[in-house]
Structure 1
């Protein structure tokens, strides 16, 4: 499942995403962080704007990235999905480095987990419509999916 994240919203770089996924966000670092205090959220992977990949959770373990969700009639997508966060926003183009690393990571996951296939790769917006919009209109699905062929 493809997501996006930026903390504060629209700002890139820094350690705020790491802190959020590790459960130690400083609520005083930005006014918008007050609503994140106590939030239990994580992803399996984060791909930064420069292409740096960080893994937070083993792919064999549950991460808390999907929230209230449903895919192909099955609820609670955290139970059976791998979450990849792209440092970005719905309306800001992703970088070439991000697409390149996302392709590499996805191909490795497809090889490691045979039950995955490109038809099961979706955005957060696909499993939580009306609640989530990421990875947003700026994510180039045709480019990404073509890179996997």
Structure 2
């Protein structure tokens, strides 16, 4: 079981246990009274469909070189972030404290409440809608989700959702390749440890 000390540390610092810290400037304070109560799963790959390079981190930190790929010219000036990224090998990179408001959801609505960035945690999977995710990613996501659920009990399995669910018609991630049933099974098995991988 995840320790009380680790839960307290997460609530105090917003820093995930075991994550590599790569601070993004793209965040702000949560509005007063906006309790953390939602976990949103995304995907991202830069260039699209390619994995393993530094481009995602560069994008979230406003360092993306628009000349490096034609697609980058269309996004280089966009300022976005997520709280964390899970690489294909399961490595977790954290960009924004969970206590702060990352810029991951955009215009969005969950359970009748708009502006999901205000009250959610955003986790990106390095991937694409139609490319299967890795076992390591499911394990890491389940570990993060367990930590978050212990620290912020308002989040239960019913309040873990995809970007496509809070921004239908505008976003499609994490896509049909994401196996929600398998992820929930991983989450059930992680409930005794709370580790990232």
Q: Report the TM-score range of the alignment, normalised by the length of the smaller protein.
A: over 0.9
Q: Which runs of 5+ in 1 are unaligned?
A: none
Match of 1:23 in 2: 62
Match of 2:17 in 1: none
Whichever of the two has the greater Rg, that structure is 2
Distance 1:147 1:19 in 2: 30
Give the length in aligned residue pairs. Answer: 149
Q: Is 1:146 aligned with 2:179?
A: no
Shift of 1:31: 0.4
Shift of 1:148: 2.0
1:6 corresponds to which of 38, 45, 55: 45
1:17-57 Cα distance to aligned partner (Å, 9 max, x none):
00011111110110000111220100000000000000100
Q: Is 1:50 aligned with 2:50?
A: no
Q: Is 1:82 aligned with 2:121?
A: yes
1:99-134 Cα distance to aligned partner (Å, 9 max, x none):
111111110111111111110000000000001000
SS for the counterpart of 1:148 is helix
- As a proportion of its length, which structure holds more strand? 2
TM-score, normalised relative to structure 2: 0.74
Distance 1:110 1:138 in 2: 24
The 5-angstrom pairing of residues 37-116 of structure 1 reads 37-116=76-155
> What's the Cα RMSD here?
0.7
The list of structure 1 runs, each at least 4 consecutive aligned residues, that deviate by more than 6 angstroms after superposition, is none
